[in-house]
Amino acid sequence: MRKKDGSTERIEAMTKVWAAGVQANPLGRLLAQQTGAPVDRAGRIGVNPDLTLPGHPEVFVVGDMISLDNLPGVAQVAIQGAKYAAKEIERRVENKPPQKPFKYFDKGSMATISRFSAVALVGRFRLTGFIAWLMWLAVHIVYLTGFKNRTSALMHWTISFLGNGRSERVATEQQVFGRLALERLDHGASDLVPTPGEYEAGQLALQERRRAELEAKAFEEARLTDSGQRGHHRERVASGLGGSSTDIDGSVSGV
């Protein structure tokens, strides 16, 4: 971890936290280049309040590709945005006046923590544990499309939560050999990762080696040029009358 004052600190832990964020679909930057619309650091494209591209009212952008009022990249933003865009298109076809600007309605947040345990935040209500887990299951089942998808998802979840196996988690032969190799190390995978000091020293050594290679190459190029082995060496010889001069290859260069 690098601090603002330039110092570094290494925190030993078994738990790793991914805090680098996510990037939007590359289509957002492509649309921005073609239309001149702004994009934020995550690659989300700036849209008008009616979810259209600036200068292109015929193009709607929804979901986690939009940058509008700091909306989160969650499913409800995509669902509500898609409904708004579809309704706006329908009103245009029927020659009706446009809708009011898009406004996101936050229905709450839910997350499953472990088996039979979750957290839920709906308005002022905060729920945890088994009740929140049941709410999480119900909400996800409701928003699945089709009876077949709902039934298959419910059966799959029942097997996964009641059993210890996870069918979606598989181990390849390469992973097995990799884990066995890591177990032979004294400190596991941490032995493969250099400390900040070792990394910086390695980078400095690499830069010095690269600089030495470039200097040696430049010196060799200069030597070849000075010795006449590189480039076209010409001498100018005065011809006498008129102040003209002639190259040794016989061409007149001036009169």
Residue 7 resides in a domain: no
pLDDT at 162 (0 to 100): 73
Which residues are CB-contacts of 39 (< 8 A; sequence separation ≥ 6)? 28, 29, 32, 45, 46, 67
pLDDT-based confidence at 245, cuts 50/70/90?
A: very low
Q: Within 13 Å of residue 246, how many CA atoms lie on the same side as its CB? A: 8
The CA distance from 189 to 183, in Å, is 8
| Higher pLDDT, residue 241 or 65 | 65
Alpha helices in the chain (DSSP H): 27-35, 75-93, 130-142, 147-162, 173-183, 196-226
CA 63 → CA 60, 84, 92, distances in Å? Answer: 10, 12, 21
- pLDDT classification of 82: cutoffs 50, 70, 90: very high
Torsion of CA 126, 132, 138, 141, to 10 degrees: 100
Strand pairing category for 66-67 and 52-53: unpaired
pLDDT per residue over 214-240, tens digit each? 888 888 888 888 887 765 545 544 444
Q: Across-strand partners of 8?
A: 2
Give per-residue pLDDT as tens, 116-131.
888 888 888 888 888 9
**So what's the pLDDT on residue 160?**
74
Distance CA 199, CA 179 (A): 24
Does residue 249 sit within a domain?
no
Q: Which amino acid is at 59?
A: V
Mean pLDDT over 161-173 rounds to 59
214 and 175 housed in the same domain: yes
Domain boundary among 40, 60, 93: 93
Residue 183 lies in a domain: yes
Kindly state the tokens that stand for 159: 């097997």
| 46 located within any domain | yes
Query: 42 and 86 share a domain?
Result: yes
Other beta carbons less than 10 A from residue 31's beta carbon: 20
Is 236 within the bounds of a domain? no
Among the residue ranges 100-104, 196-200, 251-255, the one predicted with the least confidence is 251-255
pLDDT in the model for residue 169: 52
Q: Is residue 10 part of a domain?
A: no
Domain of 198, in residue numbers: 171-229
Residue 189 is classified by DSSP as G
For residues 92-97, average pLDDT: 93
102 contacts 76 by C-beta, under 8 angstroms = no
Query: Has residue 140 been placed in a domain?
Result: yes
Instruction: Tell me, yes or no, whether 36 lies in a domain.
Output: yes
What is each CA distance from 133 to 28, 115, 136, 147, 149, in whole angstroms? 35, 8, 5, 22, 20
Q: Which amino acid is at 94?
A: E
Q: How far apart are CA 175 and CA 193, in angstroms?
A: 18
| Count of structural domains within the chain | 3
What are the phi and psi torsion angles at 120 (to 5°)? -145, 135
Q: What is the mean pLDDT of residues 192-196?
A: 63
Claim to verify: residue 155 and residue 178 sit in the same structural domain: no
Structure letter (DSSP) for residue 191: G
